[in-house]
Amino acid sequence: MEQIDYLSSPIPDINLISGSYKKFAFQKHYHLDYHFGLIVKGQQQFQLKGASYISGPGDLVLMPPDELHDGQARTAEGYEVKVLTVSASWLTQFAMNHRNSGLGFHSPVVREPELFNAMLNTHKVLSNHNVSALTRDCLPYDSFQHLLERHGRCLSPCVNAIGTKSLALLREYMVAHLDQPIRLEQLATLCGLSARQFHRQFKQATGMSPHAWLTRLRLEKSMELVKTGKPAVQVALQTGFYDQAHFSKSFRSVFGVSPSTIN
């Protein structure tokens, strides 16, 4: 049986997930932040950039933002994972990376017991309110420094141009209009393209149709708002769902839990 908990931490830019998955499968999707998954039991399999990966107990899965991937249990036994989600701004600033450079990793799956244990301990400490606030504030710096020194790499600037706009600028536009109907022609005009050209170039750049990508963006932003304690009906309206039942169904299908269960 699936057991999934989404938790906040004392550091606003770091959130936590504890999940046991058997039948629940993540369809192709992307994140707006970094996800660091610690496999503590069973095996997970996923597709990333046309390659297949299998991760098992003791493996650390490194997933940067905007990388299209899926994920599911490899066997009927399922798998258990602890995840630290970290905002891109926090991690790149921590790495003292140049603003125009991306931060990536040499491999999406790492097996290094010392690092795994440090990251797992970070997850446990951040979720334990009995640990001193200063300890919880400081510990992530130690574990992420080790992670980045051993496995991080700077990426060349990647604009992902779609017509006259970068994907980053297009995302900013969509986020600013999430509560409004967004039309294909509207996005195409913004990028100086025909609707057909825009649809083709967008799919080449992201691996998803504009509709699927926008739906995921709405759900990623809705998760951020739900964590602030806003009522589901307000979040639904603010992220463009207009119907709370449709929002709740979409949220559960993507995250495996209903909005009301988020802490």
Q: What is the pLDDT of residues 123-164, one digit of tens each?
A: 999 999 888 888 888 889 888 988 998 898 876 655 578 998
56 and 87 in a common domain: yes
Q: How far is CA 236 from CA 38, 93, 173, 263, in A?
A: 31, 32, 19, 17
Q: Band of the pLDDT at 69, cuts 50, 70, 90?
A: very high
77 and 132 in a common domain: yes
| End position of a domain, from candidates 87, 120, 155 | 155
| End position of a domain, from candidates 136, 155, 174 | 155
The structure's pTM equals: 0.91
Q: Is the pLDDT of residue 184 over 70?
A: yes
Q: Is the pLDDT of residue 99 over 50?
A: no
pLDDT in tens, 47-63: 999 999 999 999 999 99
Q: Is the pLDDT of residue 102 over 80?
A: no
Q: How far is CA 50 from CA 29, 47, 199, in A?
A: 14, 6, 21
| End position of a domain, from candidates 102, 120, 155 | 155
Residue 56 sits in a domain whose CATH number is 2.60.120.280
Structural domain range at position 48: 3-155
DSSP 108: S
Asked if residue 100 lies in contact with residue 157, where contact means CB atoms within 8 angstroms, the answer is yes
92 and 12 in a common domain: yes
